[in-house]
Structure 1
Amino acid sequence: MSLNTYQFDQVRVRNKLARIVILQEYPLSMVDHIGFKEFVVDLQPIFKLVTRNTLKSDILKIYDNEREKALKMMDKNESRMAITIDMCTSSNKKRGFMVITAHFINHTWTLQSRVLRFVYISSPHTKDVLAKVLVDCFLEWNIDRKLSTITFDNCSTNNVMIRLLLNKLDTSSLMLGGFMLHMRCAAHILNLIIQDGLSIIGDGIERIHDSMIYWTGSSKRRQKFEENARQLRVQCTKELVLDCKTRWNSIYLMLSTALIYKDVFSHLAKREISYTCLPYDYDWELAKDICGRLEFFHSETEFFSGL
């Protein structure tokens, strides 16, 4: 094997390694793991395994290359672009981030979507801060004159932010002078509607909620629940799930799972003295009725989220 061929293979394999880390979200430290090092040596002894710093550099090169390709593609694209904005909070340090995604149809009439920015937003998330981030992003990608709509959730801050954006953008380049720029997220509207309804019947499912908390409260209790489910030959492998106040469909998922294990709860109530929140028959009837009604909305939410 010639030196040039070897160098080419090194670069290609390093690129493949970096892409695996990106796709599978592996930690950079995996290249320091003894088992992984031994695997690489056995697989290809002539490959020189990189350090985590080099791996990080390779990943950033891939990002820069993909970003450059996306910039060129979007610059050539003549269609307008619909922007979706999503705010999220990291689970570890509770920091706020904004995800800005562009959606457009290319020259072959194929729908394309590209994440433009995933950016940390310092608190407080005021209208001025959010508007500046968006304008900077539009100018950076040279799409400020190609916008069709921007979809947000129904936070009141976003209403004011749109007015700030219109003052910063060239409204003559926008459809109807920017009258249709602000689109409200259909999934979020659906969420608000259902949350209003669930707030009325919240007390009726309290014992089911408490039962879920009890049997997911420790690994020992969860294990005991699973053992009793197997003893009763419940043909289901779903794990017990708790609801989340900010996600209405988590209530649907919690109730639909609890209904499957209804007999298990009753069985355990006879054996576990400290389990005192067994749902009554009318609690189960209410849960069944609620699930039947929420199933449609759950399907629609998944449909909206997949668009």
Structure 2
Amino acid sequence: MTSSENNGSSNPSITPIGNQQSPMMVDEDNTTPCSTSLDRPEDAQAQPNNEIIEERGRLKSVVWNHFKKRKVDGKDKAKCNYCTRLLVGGSKNGTKHLHDHIKICPRKKFKNNRDMKQKILVRDQHNVDSMASVNAYHFDQDESRKELARMIILHEYPLSIVDHIGFRRYSTSLQPLFKMVCRNTIKDIMSIYDHEREKSMHEIEKNRSKIAITTNMWTSQNKKFIYVSSPHTKEVFYDVLLQTLLEWNIDRKLSTMTVDNCSTNDAVINIILDKLQRSTLVMRGSMLHMRCAAHVLNLIVQDGLNVIGSCIEKVHESVGFWTGSTKRRQRFTDTARQLHVECTKELDLDCKTRWNSTYLMLSTAIEY
């Protein structure tokens, strides 16, 4: 037995003289004996500071927490958990090169926020005020692209939002792994449309009830549900409408069709009736044509407003003048205050095709 007399403390390791067994090391933390790295040939070339962990009774380098062993063409390979790169992984190659790769792995720096096994706070996506819970998180590029497309559809954002620098920086801060798409390649919206259309057609096919159709026409540069080319004749309307009915397989499930009360729509319905099988329609199609009640009411009100049309035009011009600029609005407000007018409503300019807007304009103007 040897002892250290220089510092007055005994040596923590005791080696019997003449013993042919391998030397033993004592872990000062838990005092459990473990073999040295010399007992394993695959760790003979490892770095001096290599940590050794125990796994099912066998000693294993901690570097294998970052790699998985794979067989490729009969050879042992080590696959990186982060960049999926394959390196030699045989027992004779040691682990030093694996440690070196972990230090320079380009994706390893995002380990803390993208590790597939990490636990994070996850909220219910459909409830903003939901309680957060700890769940396993797995990043999916395809799923994120679908959510981006759903967001654009839901809020009617322009496709160019994916090119906005601020939006790109914000997305990167949330998930650095997400590869932003450009507006010319975001085909996910059409994929979602095709998927939802197929689901809707399946539900329609299962439903034995009749379907009521309501149509309307308006001019818009941004929204096109079903494009109708010019000129808007009865032949064009008929062709688009019938094609849509056949496309959705609802030509034999119609109950009524509600359209504006105009002569063009009357002619369109007559042509549609000649092309459909009357035996599939309610009362052989006599109840198919329904005139829009709102449109009929609007026509009645417009006839009444024509009686005072000159007065309405004068009010319209006056309101249009005072709401033409911010300076004029402020001058009108100041004058009304000086005259002790109690009304504080904003002047509203009417839209001549909407009778209720004319009513709102007159009701406010009368108070002033």
> TM-score w.r.t. structure 2 length?
0.58
8 A Cα contact 2:116 2:139, kept in partner: no
**Distance in 2 separating the partners of 1:6 and 1:206:** 64
**Distance in 1 separating the partners of 2:138 and 2:197:** 25
- Structure showing greater radius of gyration is 2
Query: Of 167, 174, 180, which aligns to 1:36?
Result: 167
Higher helix share: 1
In the TM superposition, what whole-angstrom CA distance separates every residue of 1:57-79 from its partner, at most 9, and x where no partner exists? 11111111111111111111100
Decide which moves more: 164-173 or 122-131: 122-131
Matched, 1:174 2:281: yes
Matched, 1:159 2:159: no
**SS state at 2:290 partner:** strand
Aligned runs of 1:72-151 on 2, under 5 Å?
A: 72-90=202-220, 118-151=225-258
In the TM superposition, what whole-angstrom CA distance separates every residue of 1:198-248 from its partner, at most 9, and x where no partner exists? 100122334322221111223432344456668869675x64321122111
**Distance in 1 separating the partners of 2:352 and 2:343:** 29
Amino acid at match of 1:183: M
Show the counterpart of 1:220: 327
Matched, 1:22 2:153: yes
Show the counterpart of 1:60: 190
**Distance in 1 separating the partners of 2:331 and 2:208:** 60
Show the counterpart of 2:86: none
Q: Closer, same or farther in 2 for the Cα pair 1:36/1:229, shift >3 Å?
A: farther
8 A Cα contact 2:258 2:291, kept in partner: yes
In the TM superposition, what whole-angstrom CA distance separates every residue of 1:157-191 from its partner, at most 9, and x where no partner exists? 11111111111000111111111110000000100
Deviation at 1:133, TM superposition (A): 1.2
Amino acid at match of 2:290: M
Amino acid at match of 1:73: E
Larger RCO (CA under 8 A, 6+ residues apart): 1
Q: Closer, same or farther in 2 for the Cα pair 1:6/1:46, shift >3 Å?
A: farther
**Distance in 1 separating the partners of 2:333 and 2:195:** 49
8 A Cα contact 2:162 2:180, kept in partner: yes
Amino acid at match of 1:149: T
Q: Closer, same or farther in 2 for the Cα pair 1:207/1:130, shift >3 Å?
A: closer
Q: Closer, same or farther in 2 for the Cα pair 1:127/1:222, shift >3 Å?
A: same
Show the counterpart of 2:100: none
**Distance in 2 separating the partners of 1:54 and 1:74:** 32
Amino acid at match of 1:131: Y
Q: Which runs of 5+ in 2 are unaligned?
A: 1-114, 118-135
**Distance in 1 separating the partners of 2:307 and 2:205:** 50
Show the counterpart of 2:181: 50
**Cα root mean square deviation, aligned:** 2.6
Aligned runs of 1:244-259 on 2, under 5 Å?
A: 244-259=351-366
Show the counterpart of 2:310: 203
**Distance in 2 separating the partners of 1:241 and 1:230:** 18
**Distance in 2 separating the partners of 1:209 and 1:235:** 19
Query: Of 199, 203, 209, which aligns to 1:69?
Result: 199
Amino acid at match of 1:64: D
**Distance in 2 separating the partners of 1:13 and 1:80:** 38
Amino acid at match of 1:253: L
Amino acid at match of 1:135: L
**Distance in 1 separating the partners of 2:153 and 2:343:** 37
In the TM superposition, what whole-angstrom CA distance separates every residue of 1:75-123 from its partner, at most 9, and x where no partner exists? 1110000010101112x59x9x6xxxxxxxxxxxxxxxxxxxx211112
Q: Closer, same or farther in 2 for the Cα pair 1:31/1:204, shift >3 Å?
A: same
Deviation at 1:259, TM superposition (A): 4.0
Show the counterpart of 2:4: none
**SS state at 1:211 partner:** helix
Q: Closer, same or farther in 2 for the Cα pair 1:229/1:154, shift >3 Å?
A: same
Show the counterpart of 1:11: 142
Q: Closer, same or farther in 2 for the Cα pair 1:28/1:203, shift >3 Å?
A: same
Q: Closer, same or farther in 2 for the Cα pair 1:42/1:209, shift >3 Å?
A: same
Q: Closer, same or farther in 2 for the Cα pair 1:9/1:250, shift >3 Å?
A: same
**SS state at 1:183 partner:** strand
> TM-score w.r.t. structure 1 length?
0.69
**Distance in 1 separating the partners of 2:312 and 2:230:** 36
| Count of residues in correspondence between the two structures | 235
Amino acid at match of 1:136: Q
Show the counterpart of 1:295: none
